[in-house]
Structure 1
Amino acid sequence: MPSDPESLRDTALNIRSLRYLHEIELHGGVRAAADALSINASVISRQVGNLERLHGVALLERQGRRVTLTEIGRTLVEHFRESAQRDAEMLAQLEDYRGLRRGRIEIATGEGFVETLLASVLEAFSLQFPDIVVELRGAATSEIVAMVRNDEVDLGLCAGGISDPAIRARTFRAAPLCALVSPQHPLAGERRIRVEQLADHRLIFMPSRFGVQQYVDSLLRAERLNLTPAYRCDLFSSAQAIAAAGLGVAFMSTDAARQYLDAGKLVPIEIDHAIAREFGSQVIRRVGRRLSPAAEFLWTRLVKALQRRQG
């Protein structure tokens, strides 16, 4: 096998000759390929002949009045096409990296994730990609899944678990789903409660499109309870404020209510049920979507952050 640069250059495949072979197969002959390329047919014949002599193989054969490729000729054409595809993919990646100085990433996120998770991840991201605009769009779980599926956003971060063939999800155990009450609430002295104890209190629910409410509904179905809420609101902050005012029991993870808990305005109570303990969070992207390097970086950091929190 040749090892010196001169020998390698002499035996290297000539891209132009391979392209001419590709055009011959595509258009059904030397003359048709020449017409398509607006060059003289003798140019193509000469290049293909040089390739045949260099490697000692026949690349063309005549079948009646037609010139077709031999088996090795077709193999070389396939090699050319695969190489062209790889080159196109590499050029696309280079274009992505060239554009790192500008652009935007859109993330759909449920409430409670920005301060407790995204904030630390975004710090590293901003150092790596200081000129990329990050647009955060708050939504409920079902809405986040739809936005990711429809390519309205690059990534999604939400509560709950999904089963959608169009969605690639990494799911992690989150802080358990708990009941949240004001320090003056009758349940405030309890460390753990059973689901049926909730029937004696005014409850604060979210709309069913929220992942956290889907867990609450699952809890109630498992215990065969049909409870009517005193309040239903579509903002975690509203549910927290109502609970902090002593007007009802809200449901979410301690991560989502961190500010109210740290300020002593709410008290968390463990719900003694397997479903509450299995409360999860997930980061999602659409299957088959090629993310930009910046979005891929953020995906990787989000997955690692969720893994650390789980461990």
Structure 2
Amino acid sequence: MPSSPKTPYNSALSARSLRYLHEIEVHGGVRAAADALSINGSVISRQVANLERVYGVALLERRGRRVALTEIGMSLVEHFRDSSRRDEEMLEQLEDYRGLRRGRLEIGIGEGFVENLLATVLEQFSLQFPDIVVELRSGATAEIIVMVRNDEVDMGLCAGGSSDPAIRARAFRAAPLCALVSPQHALASERRIRVEQLAAHRLIFMPARFGVQNYLDSLSRAERLNLTPTYRCDLFSAAQAIAAAGLGVAFMSTDAARQYLDAGKLVALEIDHPIAREFGSQVIRRVGRRLSPAAEFLWTRLIKVMQQR
């Protein structure tokens, strides 16, 4: 024997029907609820009667001259109130995320920018948006460009210039590319060195994907030199440690090596060449990407601070 079709309970349990029950409970009757909602009382009566018919329960009962909700009627009203509260909380949460007052902001950043430039900007940002988690993802210039292009991060801060048509970049002149050596190194007494002087020393290179290495390679090509490394590493901190130990010459800006320089563990030597003096940095975002208000704030602050450098 075929089963009978199920009653469409979910369609009957509408928010409008539950709201009518709620208004009856608040105002003490159908007519008072209708007046509060500026509708005809028969509209409310029909909705309540439909609920009672579908579920086979009584939702209203007479208590003297007034109408009151039954126990199951009050349960439905509490359900409505709980749902309304959850809806309000979710709407507030959505609004928070829309404005990114809460949530996560992801930044791809070159290693040499964390302590000096971004730390200053993040202090201002955290005061303005204290509930946002800022996630820093370090990488070489080429890696950060890929992160930005693929929307893995909101924006990037790295060395070099970008020619990628999918990337919107603001380029800035950074501290010059310098040679970094220990105070005991043979070159330490020099304040300025020529590119050809480097050929006689043990050198510390970065992988080709680093903007710093691109500049150094450009120096080599411009002077028609074959500079070869003794060490190659993918962390500025490692390059600084190797140079501070007197094992070679590292290359980066003075901003990137500030801690070692301030501690007297490294000496910065100016490289006497236009390419070294044109060493640049950039703030990047994907073309067409709409930033949240919080991300837009950070983007604007980064640009302002870099323009003042």
Moved over 2 A (4+): 94-101
Matched, 1:234 2:237: no
Q: Secondary structure at the match of 2:186?
A: coil
Could you say which residue in structure 1 is the equivalent of 2:191?
A: 191
Could you say which residue in structure 1 is the equivalent of 2:209?
A: 209
Matched, 1:164 2:164: yes
* Residue 102 of structure 1, CA deviation: 1.2
Aligned 1:63-212 pairs, distance under 5 A? 95=95, 99-212=99-212
Could you say which residue in structure 2 is the equivalent of 1:301?
A: 301
* Residue 162 of structure 1, CA deviation: 1.1
Q: State the distance in 1 between where 2:136 and 2:178 align.
A: 26
Q: State the distance in 2 between where 1:292 and 1:177 align.
A: 34
Q: Secondary structure at the match of 1:165?
A: coil
Say if 2:182 and 2:246, in contact at 8 Å, map to a contact too: yes
Say if 2:181 and 2:246, in contact at 8 Å, map to a contact too: yes
* Residue 156 of structure 1, CA deviation: 0.2
Q: Secondary structure at the match of 1:218?
A: helix
Could you say which residue in structure 2 is the equivalent of 1:38?
A: none
Q: Secondary structure at the match of 1:283?
A: strand
Deviations for 1:132-181, whole angstroms, at most 9, x for unmatched residues?
A: 10000000000000000000000100001110110000000000000000
* Residue 98 of structure 1, CA deviation: 5.6
- Gaps of at least 5 residues in structure 2 are 1-93
User: TM-score by structure 2 length?
Assistant: 0.69
Q: Secondary structure at the match of 2:268?
A: strand
* Residue 95 of structure 1, CA deviation: 4.0
Say if 1:97 and 1:293, in contact at 8 Å, map to a contact too: no
Matched, 1:219 2:219: yes
Say if 1:112 and 1:257, in contact at 8 Å, map to a contact too: yes
* Residue 97 of structure 1, CA deviation: 7.1
Could you say which residue in structure 1 is the equivalent of 2:17?
A: none
Q: State the distance in 2 between where 1:125 and 1:101 align.
A: 11
Q: State the distance in 2 between where 1:292 and 1:259 align.
A: 34
Aligned length, in residue pairs: 217
Alpha-carbon spacing, 1:98–1:206, altered in 2? closer, same or farther (3 Å): closer
Q: State the distance in 1 between where 2:103 and 2:188 align.
A: 48
Deviations for 1:30-71, whole angstroms, at most 9, x for unmatched residues?
A: xxxxxxxxxxxxxxxxxxxxxxxxxxxxxxxxxxxxxxxxxx
* Residue 211 of structure 1, CA deviation: 0.3
Deviations for 1:250-282, whole angstroms, at most 9, x for unmatched residues?
A: 000000000000000000000000000000010
Q: Secondary structure at the match of 2:308?
A: helix
Could you say which residue in structure 1 is the equivalent of 2:28?
A: none
**Percentage of matched positions with identical amino acids:** 86
Could you say which residue in structure 2 is the equivalent of 1:277?
A: 277
Could you say which residue in structure 1 is the equivalent of 2:13?
A: none
Say if 2:99 and 2:294, in contact at 8 Å, map to a contact too: no
User: TM-score by structure 1 length?
Assistant: 0.68
Q: State the distance in 2 between where 1:135 and 1:178 align.
A: 29
Q: State the distance in 2 between where 1:120 and 1:228 align.
A: 36
Say if 2:175 and 2:254, in contact at 8 Å, map to a contact too: yes
Say if 1:148 and 1:284, in contact at 8 Å, map to a contact too: yes
Say if 2:96 and 2:102, in contact at 8 Å, map to a contact too: no
- Deviates most, 95-104 or 150-159: 95-104
* Residue 202 of structure 1, CA deviation: 0.3
Aligned 1:14-29 pairs, distance under 5 A? none
Q: Secondary structure at the match of 1:170?
A: strand
Q: State the distance in 2 between where 1:307 and 1:159 align.
A: 15
Q: State the distance in 1 between where 2:307 and 2:271 align.
A: 24
* Residue 112 of structure 1, CA deviation: 1.2
* Residue 96 of structure 1, CA deviation: 6.3
Deviations for 1:172-201, whole angstroms, at most 9, x for unmatched residues?
A: 000000000000000000010100000000
Q: State the distance in 1 between where 2:229 and 2:183 align.
A: 20
* Residue 100 of structure 1, CA deviation: 3.4
Q: Secondary structure at the match of 2:202?
A: coil
